[in-house]
Structure 1
C-alpha cells in the first residue's frame, strides 16, 4: 500500500490514463504521449503548489506571530492529515474498497464518474476512521467511508458539464473528497443569489472588471496588490515584500499555464472516449474523475483564494466558539473555494461571498473534529504537538454529516443509504435536464 501511494499523482495518473488510452483504441504512441503530457502538467502543477509553500507559508507564519492569535487547536495541514488518515485500519482498506464500489456503481448506471484521484481517497478514510473511533465497528466505519465516496461521485456528476465547459475539455469531472463536499453549499447559495437583484444581475468577472477599470482588473495587477497587502500584514521589509509580491503573481500566472498542459494531454483521450462509447455503448458517457487542482488554473479561484487568507484569520479570531488556529492549510485556501468559481461561472463577487461563508463552516467543523483527529494523530505517532490538533482539511461537511449519522450504529448506516438513493436519482434527473 505504501509503495502504491508513493508513486504520486505524477506517475500514477499517467499510468491509469495510458491504460485508458489503450482500451479506447488510441494506439500505443498516442496513448503514451497523452499520458506523459498530463504527467508533465501535474509536475508543473506540483511546482506551482510548492510555490505556495515556499512563498506564502512563511508570510502566514509571520502574520500569526505579529498578531499573536490566542487559539488552542493547531491546524497541522492537509499533508499531515492525509498521512495520519492513511495510517489507520480504514486507510489501509479504503483504496481497493472504493475502487470496487466505483466500478459497481458505474456498471449499474448510478454514476458516470470513474474516480482515479486515488490520493484523495484519504477524505473518505478520515470519515471512516472517526466512525471507527466512535463505534469500534470496522463494518460501520467502512460503510460510512463508502457512503462518502458515493456522495463525491454524485457531486462530480452534478458539476461535470460545468467543469468541462469551464476548463475546455470533455469527459472529466471533479470527485475530489473536499471539493465535492462544497458543491451542495455553493449550489444552494447560487440559487439564493439569483433571488437577490444586486447579486443576480452581477457581472463581476475578470472580463467585466477589465472593461470597467482597465488594467486594474488584470489578474497580474490584482496579484501585485494582494502581494503588497500580505507583505504589510507580515511586516516585511522591501526585499521580503517584493519577493512575496512576485511569488503571489507567479502563482496566479503559472497555475493556468500548467493546467493548459494537462488539458492538452486530456483532449485526445476525451475524443477517443467519445468515439469508443458511441461505437460500443450507444453514446453512454463515462467521466474521468480528477483532482480539484485542475480548477486552480482559473484566475478567479487564485485571486479569491489569496484574498481569503487574511479574511480567514480574522474569522478565526472573531467567530464565537472557534478553537482552530489556521496554519498548515491557510496558504492553500484556493482549494477550499475552487468549486465556487465553477458554480458561480467565474463571478468574483459571488465566489468571494461563498468563500467567506464556506470558511466559517470549515472553522467550526474542523473545531468539532479536533478531539477525534487528535486521537488519530496520537495513535499514529505522526505528530509531537502538545494539545489538540486538527486541519482545515477536516472542515468537510460530508465528513461531519456522515460521521454524526454513522455513529448511531446500523440504523444510522441505513439512514445514510436511504438518503443516498434519492440523492442519486435527483442528480441523474438534473444532469439529464441539463
Structure 2
C-alpha cells in the first residue's frame, strides 16, 4: 500500500500535465484501447491543459488590472472574472481525485442501466467534468473524499434522470430520435425553465405571443461572432477603466484573442477524449444488447439550431446588462458568453421557440448563474491555484457559467458542504418527489388520457 501511495503521490507532485496523460491512458486501456492510442489520447489532453493554462494566465494578467480599475472608477464590484467552462474543465481534470470520480460516475450509469432506472447510456466521457467538478469542490472544502465522491454520484443520478425526462424534447423539437443530452450545462436550465414555463403559460400575453425568431434575426449577425464580441467587451472594459486609447485597443485585441484561442485549446481536450468515448460506447452496447437505450451525446449536436442561436444572441447582451445591475452579483461575464447557446438550447425546445418566453426564462437562468457563480467563486479560485494556475498579482477571483454556477450543481454542492446531515436528506427528498412525478405520475396521467380518447 505504501508503494502504491508513493507512486500516486509522485504523479500528484508532478502536476496535472503529467498526471492527466497517465489517468487517460489507464481509462482508455480499461475500455479496450491499445496502449499507443490510449497514450496519445492522454498526451493530447495534457497538451490541451497546458494551452488553457497559458491562455488563462494571459487573460487574468490583461483583464485583472483593467477590471480592478473599472471597479474603482465606476463602483461596480465585478471582481470575479468568468474564465470559461474550458478553463474549469481543465481545473477539474487536473484534480488528484478525478480518476475516482470518473469511474464512480461511469459505474453509477451502468448500475442504473442494469436496474432499468435510466435509459440514458452516457458515452460523452468529456462532459463528465460537469458532474466531477462538484465532487472536486466538495472534497476541497470538506477534505472528505467520501463526501466528494457522494456529491458526484448524486450529480450523476440527477443528470441521467434529467436526460431521460428531457429526451422527448430532443426528439420532438430537434428531430433527433434515440438520443438524450446528459450535458449538465444544457440540462441545468430546465430546473428553472420547467416551473417558469408552466407559470408563463398561465399568462395570455406570453402564451399567445407571435413574435418569432425571424423577426429578431434581421437585427443580429455581425455582433454574434465571438471574435467581435471579445473585442467589444475588451474595449468597453478598457474605456470604463479609464485607459488611454492605445491601452483600450490592446485590451480589445487581447480579449478577441482569448475568445478565439480558448475554444481551440478546448478542442484538444475533446480530440483526446473522442477515442475514449468511442471505446466506451462500443463496450456499453456489447454489455446491454436488446435494451431500449438513449445514446447520451454532447449538447453541441443541438446548439446550431437557428432558434437556439438567435435566442442566444439576444440573451448575450442582456446577460452583460444583468450582471451590472443584479444585486449581490460579482461575476464579470466574459469567456462563457460564447456558450450561452448551451444554456438556452433546452429552453427553446421546451417553449417550442416562443421567443418572449425564451428571453424571460433565459434571463432567469442567467441570474441564477451569476448568483451561484458569485457564491462559489472563492472556492473555485482556491482550487485553480492549488492545481498550479498562476492568477497573477491581481486580486481577481475566477468564476464561470459552468461548475457550481449551474443551479442543480450549486444545490448539490451546498447540500454536501453546509450541514450535510440536514441538507443531504432534504435534497434527496426533493429529488425523489421529482422522480416520482416524472416517472410515475405523468405516466399514469398519459395512460388516463389515452383511455379517455379511446372511450370518445
Does the CA-based 8 Å contact 2:380-2:399 persist in structure 1?
A: yes
Does the CA-based 8 Å contact 1:106-1:114 persist in structure 2?
A: yes
2:421 is the counterpart of 1:421 = no
Deviations 1:212-260 (A, max 9, x none): x6xx756xx7425767x968886899xx9xxx9xx9xxxxxxxxxxxxx
2:400 is the counterpart of 1:391 = yes
1:111 aligned counterpart, secondary structure:
coil
Separation in structure 1 between the aligned mates of residue 97 and residue 350 of structure 2, nearest angstrom: 32
Shift of 1:384: 2.3
Q: What are the residue-to-residue correspondences of 1:90-169 with 2, within 5 Å?
A: 90-169=97-176
Shift of 1:377: 0.8
Shift of 1:418: 3.7
Aligned to 1:409: 420
Aligned to 2:12: none
Separation in structure 1 between the aligned mates of residue 435 and residue 117 of structure 2, nearest angstrom: 7
2:217 is the counterpart of 1:223 = no
1:101–1:4 Cα change, 3 Å: farther
CA RMSD of aligned residues (A): 4.0
Separation in structure 1 between the aligned mates of residue 221 and residue 84 of structure 2, nearest angstrom: 24
Larger Cα-atom Rg: 2
Separation in structure 2 between the aligned mates of residue 144 and residue 172 of structure 1, nearest angstrom: 26
Does the CA-based 8 Å contact 1:223-1:303 persist in structure 2?
A: no
Shift of 1:297: 1.8
Separation in structure 2 between the aligned mates of residue 379 and residue 368 of structure 1, nearest angstrom: 19
Shift of 1:203: 3.5
The total of aligned residue pairs comes to 348
Q: Which of 310, 313, 316 is residue 323 of structure 2 equivalent to?
A: 316
Q: What are the residue-to-residue correspondences of 1:9-158 with 2, within 5 Å?
A: 68=70, 70=76, 71-158=78-165
Q: TM-score, normalised by structure 2?
A: 0.66
Separation in structure 2 between the aligned mates of residue 138 and residue 431 of structure 1, nearest angstrom: 37
Aligned to 1:333: 340
Separation in structure 2 between the aligned mates of residue 343 and residue 90 of structure 1, nearest angstrom: 36
Shift of 1:431: 6.1
Deviations 1:355-386 (A, max 9, x none): 11111111111000011101111111123244
Does the CA-based 8 Å contact 1:154-1:427 persist in structure 2?
A: no
Does the CA-based 8 Å contact 1:405-1:412 persist in structure 2?
A: yes
Separation in structure 2 between the aligned mates of residue 430 and residue 296 of structure 1, nearest angstrom: 31
2:298 is the counterpart of 1:298 = no
Separation in structure 1 between the aligned mates of residue 117 and residue 22 of structure 2, nearest angstrom: 28
1:103 aligned counterpart, secondary structure:
helix
Structure 1: runs of 5 or more not aligned: 20-52, 248-268
Q: TM-score, normalised by structure 1?
A: 0.69
Q: Which of 20, 23, 30 is residue 2 of structure 1 equivalent to?
A: 20
1:333 aligned counterpart, secondary structure:
helix
Deviations 1:9-57 (A, max 9, x none): xxx9xxx9x99xxxxxxxxxxxxxxxxxxxxxxxxxxxxxxxxx9xxx9
Does the CA-based 8 Å contact 2:191-2:407 persist in structure 1?
A: no
Structure 2: runs of 5 or more not aligned: 1-18, 34-54, 237-247, 260-280, 447-456
Separation in structure 2 between the aligned mates of residue 341 and residue 94 of structure 1, nearest angstrom: 32
1:406–1:314 Cα change, 3 Å: same
1:92–1:6 Cα change, 3 Å: closer
2:81 aligned counterpart, secondary structure:
strand
